Structures are given as structure tokens and as C-alpha cells.
Amino acid sequence: MKNLLAGVLLAFQFFTALPVKRTIGMSKKRIYYMIQSLPFAGLAIGIVSVLLLLFLKGYTPLSPAACAFILWILPILLTGGLHLDGWIDTSDAYFSYRDKDKRLEIMKDPRTGAFGVLSVIVLLSARFLFIYETTSAFNFEVLLSILIIPVLSRVLISRLLAKMVPARNEGLAYYFYQNLEGSNQKWLIAIWILFFLILSFFIHSFLYFLAGTALYYFLVKRFIYKEFGGMTGDTLGGSLEGGETVLWLILWLLHYSAMA
């Protein structure tokens, strides 16, 4: 239990901007629990998002567009833009149309190129549209969906990190991968599966989210291997941002399907 708690705190330290002012030692078991605990960080972001949206809708005179904007920018603030940086760097590398080795060099370059800027504008603009139109007339199921989207996106990258081979023998992704090798504790994964099964009774469209996440996982895994030769921290961050936008897209499509 001590290692599990340490893993949860490490997940918040490494992958959010939330203040965890505590020095936590790293060990193989704690790193394993940190990766498996990533959905807890997503759950915290989801809870804050839902509570904030309820407050904005119920106790402020803000317009639907203003509420959507605050909900749109909240995850960026809570993560410090960490994953968006990965999306930008991955986009710069991919759209350079160079070989794999050159793409990996481009991702290490601290400068941002035009393709990275354009891609993040498109990503965030699309997500704002989905959030705005979905939350303009929200209900209980939409609130639960908003809660679960950041959880599923972090389940996605925890699986990618556990199952993919690093593209290079350096960086945080490589360090985490090394410490995950040989880990076989399955009970925490079982808890998440049980959590999702319970949710499926409350969110009728939850199977669509699971199917979308699974399909996105296989497609992005294949894409990363083909275009970069393996995972990096940037490709993982980019995958999370892309995954969240895909889940918002699914919620948006279900919203229009229900209105039809």
C-alpha cells in the first residue's frame, strides 16, 4: 500500500501541474504503480472539470461559450501544457517528411516549427468546438462522460508505455520502460476494469468510448512504430492529446445522434 500511494503521488508529480510538495524516492515497484496510477490523475482532472462546469452553469451568468472556454483551458492549466508540448514536437517531426532518425532529432530540438503551431491550433480548435456544442445543453450522462474522458486517455498512454519499445535509449520514456520490464502485478489493472464495468451501467454510450479508445490505441501504436521506430515521451504526450480529442469527438457525435 505504501508503494501504491507513492506511485499515485509520483503520477501527480510527473504528469500534472498540481502541487505535490513531497520528495518521493524512485524504485521499480513505485514506477510501475506510477504508470498504472496515471488514470487517477485523469480522474482528478475529470472531477475538477465536472465540479467547475456545474458551478459555472448553476451559479454564474457566463454564456455557454465562456463556460466551454474555461472547461477547454482547464486541463491545459492542470497539466502545465506538458502533453501539448509532445503533440507539437511530434507534429513538427512527422510533417518534416524526413527519415526516422532525423525525426527523432527534430523532436529533441527545443524550437517550435510552423507545422507544430498549425497542428496544435487545429487540435485545440476542434476540441473547443466539441466541448462547446456538447456542454451547451448537458445532462447527467454528459457529466459522467466529461469525468471519464481524461481517465481513458491516461489508460491509453499507460498501456502504450507498458507495451511499446522506446525509439532511443535515453529520456524519461526509456527510463520508465526499463523499470516496467518484468512487472507482473495485475490487481491494479483489474480494479480499473471493474471501475469501467460499473460505469457502463450509468453511461449508456460508454461502450462507444471503450471501442474508440481501443481502436485509437491500435492505430496510434502502429503509427508510432512506422513513423518513429518506437515510443518517446513526445509521442506519448501527443497520443494522449489526440486520444482526448477523439473521445470528445465521439461524445459530440453521440450528442448529435441523440438530437436526430
State which residues form the domain around 205.
39-259
Which of these ranges, 79-83, 121-125, 218-222, 237-241, has the smallest mean pLDDT? Answer: 79-83
Does residue 176 register a pLDDT over 90? no
- Number of CB atoms found within 10 A of residue 202's CB: 11
pLDDT digits (tens, 9 = 90+) for 42-75: 999 999 999 999 999 999 999 999 999 999 999 9
Do 229 and 203 touch, CB atoms closer than 8 A? no
- Number of CB atoms found within 10 A of residue 111's CB: 8
Q: What's the structural domain count of the chain?
A: 1
Q: Answer yes or no: is 230 within a domain.
A: yes
- Number of CB atoms found within 10 A of residue 25's CB: 7
Q: CA 145 to CA 182: how far, in whole Å? A: 34
Q: Answer yes or no: is 5 within a domain.
A: no
Q: Answer yes or no: is 55 within a domain.
A: yes
pLDDT at residue 246 in the model: 96
pLDDT digits (tens, 9 = 90+) for 96-114: 888 888 999 998 888 888 9
Q: Terminal CA-to-CA distance of the chain, rounded, Å?
A: 49
Do 130 and 249 touch, CB atoms closer than 8 A? yes
Cell of 121: 491550433
pLDDT at residue 5 in the model: 85
3-state secondary structure of 20: coil
Residues near 64 by Cβ (< 8 Å), separated by ≥ 6?
132, 135, 136
Does residue 260 register a pLDDT over 60? no
Cell of 223: 503509427
Q: Answer yes or no: is 57 within a domain.
A: yes
Q: Answer yes or no: is 4 within a domain.
A: no
pLDDT at residue 29 in the model: 80
Q: Answer yes or no: is 131 within a domain.
A: yes
- In percent, how much of the chain has pLDDT > 70? 90
11 or 55: whose pLDDT is higher? Answer: 55
Q: Answer yes or no: is 253 within a domain.
A: yes
Q: Answer yes or no: is 18 within a domain.
A: no
